[in-house]
């Protein structure tokens, strides 16, 4: 027979159970702390190494093969010293300026010095920057290293515009100041959580505006300010080593998988999409360029197909995390057509000497890629983003604004830096140096003895 106290005992037990379970339930629904994922970390270390490969030896061989033999070591040395100097600048204060926070009105435009010399960052600290909402993150140090590779290659791309006629001292000072005063602020605007273009909604998955528009506009300004190479008179010079060009282009293509697929900061479906569309755009652009040359010149050139591949890689960079295969195909075709016209027609009619087409490929390709990101972005890749093909025409306007702002800022700052350096240490080599070659006069060496 049930006691009259049974119901009271039952209520008491139920109360105690609820009281004990409630804190456990609260813990279950609380936001878990981010942790370091070994899988994501392993992938991002590999991606970082791939991006470094793009500068050394990828870009060094690509640019080095395109110049005349008397200047090849100068190109290799420029790439090498940037890898060293920008790394020191990056850990000293560059990373803090680009991705750190500052107080008050400066916050949207430049970071502070809280992370100068990486102070306060430990080996177990999780990166504060991430794409996926998953708690599986990467170490802060890995993110710092990954972004360092972007900081290195961006000023290195400008080399293609002033190759064969700039003093090594002038180049070194310009590149270092440009990295501090141009690259770091633009990276903060677009990629930092505090950045004003980031908050505006500008899409740049892996460096369309931060890297290629930025470097491309600087390249055009430098080419215009330096003037033409002596004795060239508008006639294209013959690359001294086309196998170097192909080797460099192949290494760039290979390294670009880390550049784009790594920018998702995780080993996941987004990285897989970026990996796929990067390859598709590069292949489409290379094929398109070869077919254009075949049609207009009767023969497709090795340098041409390599240049087309690089143009495709440039244009897909801002879009890799936002577009699908259809967008990649369209971007690959469009960028080869536009860049081919720029380097084959416009450059010669305009009369500027962009030695290795840094502006014609990286600048123009970056501008086109950034704008087409606003056209072909699809919610099927990232649900939060869409472009004009899905009715979001506003995104195209935002992309255009970002391109214009970065182009104007970079152009003005590059002009100012050129003037200051030219008036102080000098920037263009003397006629005898240009005639005999920068390898001997600037470095005391010859590539082929």
Predicted pLDDT at 237: 86
Contact status, residue 301 vs residue 253, Cβ threshold 8 Å: no
**What does the domain layout of the chain look like in residue ranges?**
37-443
pLDDT digits (tens, 9 = 90+) for 235-248: 678 999 999 999 99
pLDDT in tens, 375-407: 999 999 999 999 999 999 999 999 999 999 999
Mean pLDDT value across the chain: 93
pLDDT at residue 14 greater than cutoff 60: no
Task: For residue 234, name the pLDDT band (cuts at 50, 70, 90).
Answer: low
The pLDDT, as a whole number, for residue 142 is: 98
| Per-residue H/E/C for the chain | CCCCCHHHHHHHHHHHHHHHHHHHHHHHHCCCCCEECHHHHHHHHHHHHHHHHHHHHHHHHHHHHHCCHHHHHHHHHHHHHHHHHHHHHHHHHHHHHHHCCCCHHHCCCCCCCCCHHHCCCCCCCECCCCCCCCCEECEHHHHHHHHHHHHHHHHHHHHHHHCCCECHHHHHHHHHHHHHHHHHHHHHHHHCCCCHHHHHCCCCCCCHHHHHHHHHHHHHHHHHHHCCCCCCCCCCCCCCCHHHHHHHHHHHHHHHHHHHHHHHCCCCHHHHHHHHHHHHHHHHHHHHHHHHHHHHHCCCCHHHHHHHHHHHHHHHCCCCCCCCHHHHHHHHHHHHHHHHHHHHHHHHHHCCCCCCCHHHHHHHHHHHHHHHHHHHCCCCCCCCCCCHHHCCCHHHHHHHHHHHHHHHHHHHHHHHHHHHHHHHCCCECCHHHHHHCHHHHHHCCCCCC
CA 351/CA 387 separation, integer angstroms: 36
Whether 44 contacts 146, CB under 8 Å: yes
Give the percent of the chain with pLDDT over 90: 89
Query: 36 has which bridge partners?
Result: 137
pLDDT at 133: 83
Least confident of 1-5, 409-413, 444-448: 1-5
d(C-alpha 200, C-alpha 83), whole Å: 32
Report residue 133 CA to chain centroid gap. 23
pTM of the model: 0.92
**pLDDT: which is higher, 25 or 66:** 66
CATH entry, 37-443, from 1.10.3430.10, 3.40.50.410, 3.40.50.1100, 1.10.260.40:
1.10.3430.10
CA-to-CA distance for 202 and 210, rounded, in angstroms? 11
Q: How far apart are CA 151 and CA 87, in angstroms?
A: 8
The residue to which tokens 């970065």 are assigned: 406
Q: Give residue-wise pLDDT tens across range 208-228.
A: 999 999 999 999 999 999 999
Nearest to 216, CA basis, from 315, 355, 362 = 362
Q: 333 falls in which pLDDT band (50, 70, 90)?
A: very high
Q: Which of 181, 316, 216, 333 is nearest to 259 (CA)?
A: 316
- For residues 188-201, give the mean pLDDT: 97
How many DSSP H helices and E strands does the chain contain? 19, 2
Q: Which pLDDT value is given to residue 29?
A: 54
Please report the pLDDT score of residue 30 as a whole number: 65
Dihedral Cα 256, 260, 261, 266, nearest 10 deg: 130
**Percent of the chain with pLDDT strictly greater than 70:** 92
pLDDT of residue 204: 98
264, 133 contact by CB (below 8 A): no
**In this predicted structure, what is the pLDDT of residue 353?**
95
pLDDT beyond 60 at 19: no
How far apart (Å, rounded) are the C-alpha atoms in residues 90 and 87? Answer: 5
Predicted confidence (pLDDT) at residue 7 exceeds the cutoff of 50: no
Is residue 347 a contact partner of residue 328, using CB atoms and an 8 Å limit?
no
State pLDDT tens for residues 114-136. 999 999 999 999 999 999 888 99
Q: What is the structure's pLDDT at 291?
A: 98
20-24, 178-182, 435-439: least confidently modelled range: 20-24
> Tell me: the pLDDT tens digits for 61-82?
999 999 999 999 999 999 999 9
């Amino acid at each position: 027979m049930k006691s009259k106290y049974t119901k009271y005992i039952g209520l008491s037990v139920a109360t105690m159970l609820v009281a004990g379970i409630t804190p456990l339930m609260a813990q279950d629904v609380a936001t878990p702390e981010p942790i370091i994922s070994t899988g994501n970390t392993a992938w991002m270390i590999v991606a970082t190494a791939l991006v470094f490969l793009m500068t050394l030896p990828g870009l060094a061989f690509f640019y080095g093969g395109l110049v005349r033999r008397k200047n090849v070591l100068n190109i290799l040395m420029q790439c090498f010293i940037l890898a060293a100097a920008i790394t020191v600048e990056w850990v000293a204060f560059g990373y803090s300026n680009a991705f750190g926070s500052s107080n008050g009105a400066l916050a949207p435009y430049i970071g502070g010095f809280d992370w100068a010399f990486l102070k306060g960052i430990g080996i177990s600290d999780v990166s504060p920057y991430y794409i996926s909402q998953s708690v599986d993150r990467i170490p802060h140090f890995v993110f710092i290293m990954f972004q360092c590779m972007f900081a290195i290659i961006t000023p290195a791309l400008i080399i293609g515009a002033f190759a064969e006629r700039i003093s090594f001292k002038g180049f070194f000072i310009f590149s270092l100041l440009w990295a501090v005063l141009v690259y770091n602020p633009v990276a903060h605007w677009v990629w930092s959580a505090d950045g004003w273009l980031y908050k505006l909604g500008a899409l740049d998955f892996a460096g369309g505006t931060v890297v290629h528009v930025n470097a491309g506009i600087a390249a055009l300004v430098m080419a215009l300010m330096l003037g033409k190479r002596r004795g060239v008179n508008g006639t294209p010079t013959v690359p001294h080593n086309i196998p170097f060009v192909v080797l460099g282009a192949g290494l760039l293509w290979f390294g670009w998988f880390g550049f784009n697929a790594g920018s998702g900061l995780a080993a996941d479906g987004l990285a897989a999409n970026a990996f796929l569309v990067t390859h598709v755009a590069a292949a489409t652009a290379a094929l398109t360029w070869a077919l254009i040359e075949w049609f207009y010149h009767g023969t497709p050139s090795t340098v041409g197909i390599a240049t087309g591949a690089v143009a495709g890689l440039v244009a897909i960079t801002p879009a890799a995390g936002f577009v699908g295969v259809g967008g990649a195909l369209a971007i690959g075709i469009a960028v080869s057509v536009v860049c081919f016209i720029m380097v084959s027609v416009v450059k010669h009619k305009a009369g500027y000497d962009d030695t290795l087409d840094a502006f014609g490929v990286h600048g123009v390709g970056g501008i086109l890629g950034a704008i087409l990101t606003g056209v072909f972005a699809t919610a099927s890749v990232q649900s939060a983003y869409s472009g004009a093909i899905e009715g979001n025409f506003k995104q195209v306007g935002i992309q255009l604004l970002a391109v214009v702002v970065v182009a104007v800022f970079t152009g003005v700052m590059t002009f100012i830096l050129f003037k200051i350096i030219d008036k102080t240490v000098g920037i263009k080599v003397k006629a005898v140096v240009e005639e005999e070659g920068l390898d001997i006069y600037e470095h005391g060496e010859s590539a082929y003895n």
